Amino acid sequence: MAHKQAKYRSDYRAPAFTIDTVELDFDLHDNATRVTSVLGVRRLGPGALELDGEQLKLISVAVDDVELDADAYILNEHQLIISDLPDECTLTLVTEINPSANSALEGLYKSGGAFCTQCEAEGFRRITYYVDRPDVLAVFTTRITADARQFPYLLSNGNLQQQGECENGRHFAIWHDPHPKPAYLFALVAGDFDRLQDTYTTTEGRDVCLEVFVDKGNLSRAEYAMVSLKKAMQWDEERFGLAYDLDRYMIVAVDFFNMGAMENKGLNIFNSKYVLADQNTATDWDFIHVESVIGHEYFHNWTGNRITCRDWFQLSLKEGLTVFRDQEFSSDLGSRAVHRIDAIRVMRSHQFNEDASPMAHPIRPDKVVEMNNFYTVTVYNKGAEVIRMLHTILGEEGFQRGMQRYRQRHDGQAVTCEDFVAAMEAANDVDLSQFRRWYSQAGTPVVNITERYDASTGELTIRCQQQTPATPGQTDKAPVVIPLLFSVFDARGQRLAVEHEAIKRHESGSELLVLDQAECEFTLSGFAKRPIIAWLENFSAPVKLEREVALDDYALLLAHAEQEVTRWEAAQQMYLHVLLQAVEQGGALTLPQGLLNALRQALQAPLDNALKALIFTPPSAEELSEYYSSDVPLAAIEKAGKALRQQLALALQPDFAALFDQLQASDDDLSGPAMATRAMANRCLYFLAYAAPQQYADLIAKRATRRGNMTVQQGALEIAVHLELPNRDNILASFLEQWQATPLVMDKWFAAQASAVTATTVNEVQQLTDHSLFTLRNPNRVYALLATFCRNSLRFHQADGAGYRLVLDVIKQLNNLNPQVAARLITPFLQWRRYDAKRQEQLKSCLSELQQLDDLAPDLAEKIASALES
Ligand code: B3K
Ligand code: ZN
C-alpha cells in the first residue's frame, strides 16, 4: 500500500468547491450496490473540484447531465479531480461498492443480515466520491431500494418523505434531512428488526417519535435504552437549555461495530453492547454505560451536529465537550462521586499512559496520518478535563453563559476549538490566552507541592511548582493554567477557613487557587497546629501531584474529608505509598497498622457502598507502572499487589464477612443503592475468597451460575477465575453452557480469562482465539479477549515473550481484516522503551516485523513509525 501522507493542522484551507445539496440513490445488493449521487456544487475559490473516494468502482460522471469522457477528469486511488467546472453545477456520479466484502466496518457494510454505515471520520468516501471533509455542509435526500422481505426497514437521516413498492419484491423509501450536515453524519440502515417506539414532547412543543431498532427477539432488552434516551432529552433541556430539532429520533443496534456508537443526525447507529440490557445479561456498569453512551450520542446533536468541526484536528471541540456533558448527565442522575472517580481512573491508567507514549498528542493534534488513530483518551477524556477546568474557573453560570454565546455565534457552522474558547472568553469577559495552552501542549504536567509549617508564628508556607515533560516533537513547554481545588483541615478533621487574596471559595465547597506560573509561594496564617490539606480535590486538573506523603494525614482525610472523592483519593494515596515502597524492595510488603486501622474504620463507616467498593479497590498494576519511565519492575509490582490484597483479606476477614452478610439487594432492583450493594458485596466476596478459598468456593459457584442478575454472576465468575479457585474450570464450563447463545454475555466470559494474572493466562487466551464462539471479524469479541489481554500488563509482558507473539499474530490478521481494530491492539507495543533490555528487543522486533508487511495499513504504519522513531 502506498505510504499515506501526514496532514498538518496549520495547512488548513477552505475547499475550492462546496456542496449544498446531495441526492443519493442506493440500490442495495449484498455484493454490488449501486450508488447514484447528484451533487449541487458551488465554487468558493480558485482550483479544481477534488472529490475523495476509496475502494470505489466508478461507473460514470456527468456535469449538468452531460457525461464526461475519461480524459475530462483525473482518477487515482484516492481522488477524482475535475477541473474547468462552472461556478455552479450539478454533478452526477454513479459508483458501485461491495458491502459484503467490507470487513473494515467503515462505509457501507453488512452487520449480520442488515446493511449499515459508519462514516466518521472519513468513511463516506467509501460509499461515493465526495468532498469528504467536515466543513462541507449539505442538505441530504436519500432514496433506498432493497428486497422487501429481507429488509423491511429502510432508514436514513431526517424525515421519511415517501415509501412504496417496486418490481421484483423490492421496495423503496425516501428520506430528507433539512439540517445541512457534513458527510460524516450520513447514515443508512436496511434490515429486519424489532422496533420499540415511544414519544417525547420537547420544551418547544415538538412531538418527537422515538424508535429503537434491535435484532429480532431482543425487544425487552431495548427498554432501558429508550428510558435513557428520554432522560437525556429532558436533561439537556434542563441543564443546557438545548432541545431536539427533528420529528424523529432513531437508534439502531448492530452487532458489528468498531466503536461504541455514532451520532448520525436523527439516526444513531449503536454497538449493540450499548443498547441491549436487562438484569439477566447486563451488569450494573453495563446499564450505566448504556445510559451514558445513549446520552453522549444524543448530546452530540448540538455539540457536534448543529455546531460541527471545521477540520478533524478540532475533534476535541465536539468530543471533549460531549464527554464532559455525558459525565455531567451521569453525575446529575446517579452518584456524582462514583462517576468522578471512574473518570479519574480512566485518566490515570490510560490517558497518562498515552501522554507518556510515542503517540502523545495535544487534545488538538497538529499532525495526523490516519484520523481513526486520534479517537483517543487524550482527545476525548483529557479534552473533557479541559472543559471541566473551564467550568471550574468560570463556575456553572459563567460556563452556561459561554455555551449560549457559542450557540448564538456558531449554530449551523463548522468551527474550531479556538472559536469555542473565544465564546467562553467573550461571554465572561475574561482572558483565556494562557488557558489555550491546554489545547496545544501534550504531556501530563507535574505539580510539586511543599508545605512548611512554623509553629512559632502559626504560618503555613506553601510552594507550588509545575513542569510539563517533553513529548515527541514538543521539547519546550510553557506553564499552563491549573485550577487547584483544596480544603484545609485541623488535626481532628475539622474544616478550617482560609483567607488569602489569591484564594477564593469555589462553588464546590473547596478553596480555589489558580496556578498559572511555573512556581508560586504563598503563606496562610492562623494555625495553632500544623493543618492538613487535601490537594487537587475532585481531580481539578489533569496533572500528576508530587508531595511528601504522611500516611497519618491521609488516614485523617479518609475518615473526615467532606467530599467523597477526597476520601477515596486519600485511600488511594495510602495504598500507593505502601505499594511503591514495597516495589522498591522487590515486592515484599507488610501492611502498616495505620493503614489497616483506617481501612477497617472506612469499612465500618456509614459510607455509600459504591464508594466503599471503590475504596477497597487498590491501584492496579497498570497504574503503578505509570510511576516508572524505564525498567518497569513488573515482577515486584505483581508481588507487591498480591501481598497487599492478601494481607488486607486476612486482616479484615471478619469485617468483610460481617458486612457481606448485610448486603442484600434483589435481582431486579436497578436503583443506585441496590447497585452499590452489589458492588460492595462483590468486593467483600473477593477478599473473603482470597482469605479462605475453600470455604467460599461453593458460594461463588452458586453465584456464578445462578441466572437472575449479571452483576452477581460476573462478579463471582471473575473471582473464581482470577483467584484460581479449585472449582474454576467447572464454573467456566457451566457459565459457557448457560450463555453460549448470548454473545454479549460470552464477552464477559472471554474477558474474565484474559484479565487473569495466572501462570496459564497466556496459553488460555491463545486457545480461546480458536474457540468456536470467537471470531476476529467481530470487534466486540476482539476487544473482550485481546484488548483485555493487552491491558493485562503483567501477562502481556510475560518474560518469555509469549504474550507478545500471541498479539502480534492477531494484529497481522487484523491488518487485512480490520485495521482500526488492529491499531487499537498495538498500543502496549509502542511503549517498548519503558521495559528492560530483553523485553525491549522482543517488542521492537514485533514492531519491525509488522513494519515489513507489504500491505501494512496506515493505521498501524503511523503508530509503528512513531514508536520506532522516538
Ligand atoms: N463520533 C463517534 C466516533 C467515530 C469514530 C470513528 N472512527 C462516536 C462518539 O464519539 O460519539
Ligand atoms: Zn462522541
CATH number at residue 484: 2.60.40.1840
Q: Respond yes or no: is residue 238 known to be catalytic.
A: no
Q: What is the pLDDT of residue 137?
A: 98
Same domain? For 47 and 57 the reply is: yes
Q: What are phi and psi of 639, to 5 degrees?
A: -65, -45
Q: What is the pLDDT of residue 3?
A: 77
Could you say which of 153, 170, 192 is where a domain stops? 192
Q: Is 264 in the pocket of ligand 1 (CB under 6 A)?
A: no
Same domain? For 1 and 96 the reply is: yes
Check residue 259 and report its DSSP letter: S
Same domain? For 580 and 711 the reply is: no
pLDDT along the chain (870 residues), means of 10: 86 98 99 99 98 98 97 97 97 98 98 98 98 99 99 98 98 98 99 98 98 98 98 99 98 98 99 98 98 99 99 99 99 98 97 97 98 98 99 98 99 99 99 98 98 98 98 97 98 96 98 98 97 98 93 97 98 97 97 97 97 98 95 98 98 98 97 98 98 98 98 98 98 98 98 98 98 98 98 98 98 98 98 98 98 97 94
Same domain? For 532 and 637 the reply is: no
Q: CA-CA-CA-CA torsion for 365, 367, 372, 374, nearest 10 degrees? A: -20
- Determine the Cα–Cα distance for residues 102 and 108; give it in Å rounded to an integer: 8
Q: What is the pLDDT of residue 482?
A: 98
Same domain? For 533 and 553 the reply is: no
> Mind listing the pLDDT tens digit for each residue in 128-137?
999 999 999 9
Mutate to test the pocket of ligand 1, among 120, 181, 302 (most ligand atoms within 8 A of CB): 120
Could you say which of 529, 548, 567 is where a domain stops? 548
End-to-end CA distance of the chain: 24
Q: Is 824 in the pocket of ligand 1 (CB under 6 A)?
A: no
Q: What is the pLDDT of residue 549?
A: 77
The H or E element that residue 82 is part of is: strand 79-82
Polymer length in residues for the chain: 870
**Residue 120 CA, closest ligand 1 atom number:** 6
In a domain, 804, yes or no: yes
Domain extent, residue 25, equals 1-192
In a domain, 538, yes or no: yes
> Mind listing the pLDDT tens digit for each residue in 780-804?
999 999 999 999 999 999 999 999 9
Same domain? For 579 and 607 the reply is: yes
Distance from residue 298's CA to the centre of ligand 2 (Å): 9
In a domain, 8, yes or no: yes
Compute CA distances 190 → 161, 162, 178, 667, whole Å.
16, 16, 21, 36
- Determine the Cα–Cα distance for residues 661 and 390; give it in Å rounded to an integer: 45
Q: What is the pLDDT of residue 150?
A: 98
Q: What is the pLDDT of residue 2?
A: 56
**Residue 371 CA, closest ligand 1 atom number:** 7
Residue nearest to atom 5 of ligand 1 (CA): 120
Check residue 198 and report its DSSP letter: E
Same domain? For 531 and 508 the reply is: yes
Mutate to test the pocket of ligand 1, among 122, 254, 265, 319 (most ligand atoms within 8 A of CB): 319
What value does the mean pLDDT of the chain take? Answer: 98
Q: What is the pTM of this model?
A: 0.99
Check residue 282 and report its DSSP letter: -
The total domain count for the chain is 5
Q: Is 296 in the pocket of ligand 1 (CB under 6 A)?
A: yes
CB 215 within 8 A of CB 194: yes
CATH number of the domain at 1, please: 2.60.40.1730
Same domain? For 492 and 530 the reply is: yes
Same domain? For 685 and 777 the reply is: no
Same domain? For 80 and 97 the reply is: yes
Distance from residue 743's CA to the centre of ligand 2 (Å): 25
Could you say which of 680, 702, 726 is where a domain stops? 726
Residue nearest to atom 7 of ligand 1 (CA): 372
> Mind listing the pLDDT tens digit for each residue in 83-129?
999 999 999 999 999 999 999 999 999 999 999 999 999 999 999 99
**Residue 300 CA, closest ligand 1 atom number:** 11
Mutate to test the pocket of ligand 1, among 109, 119, 262, 318 (most ligand atoms within 8 A of CB): 262
Distance from residue 462's CA to the centre of ligand 1 (Å): 43
Q: Is 121 in the pocket of ligand 1 (CB under 6 A)?
A: yes
> Which ligand neighbours the alpha carbon of 297 most closely?
1
Count of Cβ atoms closer than 10 Å to residue 687 Cβ = 25
Q: Is 303 in the pocket of ligand 1 (CB under 6 A)?
A: no
Same domain? For 692 and 591 the reply is: no
Residue 113 CB burial class (10 angstroms; 0-12, 13-18, ≥19): middle
Distance from residue 472's CA to the centre of ligand 2 (Å): 26
Distance from residue 317's CA to the centre of ligand 1 (Å): 13
**Residue 522 cell numbers, joined:** 504563598
Same domain? For 670 and 780 the reply is: no
Catalytic-labelled residue, pool 122, 211, 297, 626:
297
In a domain, 624, yes or no: yes
Handedness of CA 749, 352, 343, 556 (dihedral sign): positive
In a domain, 765, yes or no: yes
**Residue 296 CA, closest ligand 1 atom number:** 11
In a domain, 711, yes or no: yes
In a domain, 852, yes or no: yes
Distance from residue 378's CA to the centre of ligand 2 (Å): 13
In a domain, 519, yes or no: yes
CATH number of the domain at 754, please: 1.25.50.10
The H or E element that residue 296 is part of is: helix 284-299
- Determine the Cα–Cα distance for residues 244 and 235; give it in Å rounded to an integer: 11
* Beta carbons within 8 Å of 21's beta carbon, 6+ residues apart: 38, 39, 40, 138, 139, 140, 141
Q: Is 375 in the pocket of ligand 1 (CB under 6 A)?
A: yes
Q: What is the pLDDT of residue 743?
A: 98
**Residue 380 CA, closest ligand 1 atom number:** 10
Give SS3 for 307. Answer: strand
Q: What is the pLDDT of residue 870?
A: 72
Distance from residue 318's CA to the centre of ligand 2 (Å): 7
Longest CA span, the chain: 95
Residue nearest to atom 1 of ligand 1 (CA): 262
